[in-house]
Amino acid sequence: MRSTRPTRSFRARVSLADGQLAELREELERQLARLERSMAITDEATKPVELDQAAVGRLSRMDSLQSQGMAKGLKEREAVRLASIVGALRRMDEGRYGICTSCGKEIAFGRLLVFPESATCAACGD
């Protein structure tokens, strides 16, 4: 998942305290584990719908197809979230976490507490 865009020059370290950084890493890893469990369930729900001879009528099949469609939408949203979390952990490992990818300024700790995967400051938005 490496970007082909040229990288900007970033400061080496954000002014987050080590305890804050550890807290945010722990939260990101917790969210990643939860997301991976959810994705396993979603994968099961997106399998092809089989014709169930025991179910009565077209409505049962239509309901199954609709549920499958919703699960596919969820799967797409989960993939985007996964990329955000993995990207945040990668930025942490590279020493770029907490620096806005748009303007290069620090991202407020309060924003990172709410959105630990955020790559931009509040002014630049997500």
Helix (H, G, I), strand (E, B) or coil at 99: strand
What pLDDT score does 44 carry?
78
Amino acid at 45: A
pLDDT digits (tens, 9 = 90+) for 67-93: 777 888 888 999 999 999 999 999 999
Rounded to the nearest angstrom, the gap between the alpha carbon of residue 48 and the centroid of all alpha carbons in its chain is 25
User: 60 lies in a domain?
Assistant: yes
User: 2 lies in a domain?
Assistant: no
Mean pLDDT over each residue of the chain, to the nearest integer: 81
User: 87 lies in a domain?
Assistant: yes
What pLDDT score does 3 carry?
38
User: 102 lies in a domain?
Assistant: no
Among 10, 24, 19, 31, CA closest to 94:
10
User: 61 lies in a domain?
Assistant: yes
User: 5 lies in a domain?
Assistant: no
- Structurally, the chain folds into a number of domains equal to 1
User: 110 lies in a domain?
Assistant: no
- For 41, the domain range is 18-97
Residue 82 near residue 35 (C-beta atoms within 8 A): yes
pLDDT digits (tens, 9 = 90+) for 25-69: 999 999 999 999 999 888 777 777 565 555 556 666 677 777 777
Residue 112 near residue 94 (C-beta atoms within 8 A): no
Percent of the chain scored above 70 by pLDDT?
77
Among 125, 122, 100, CA closest to 111:
122
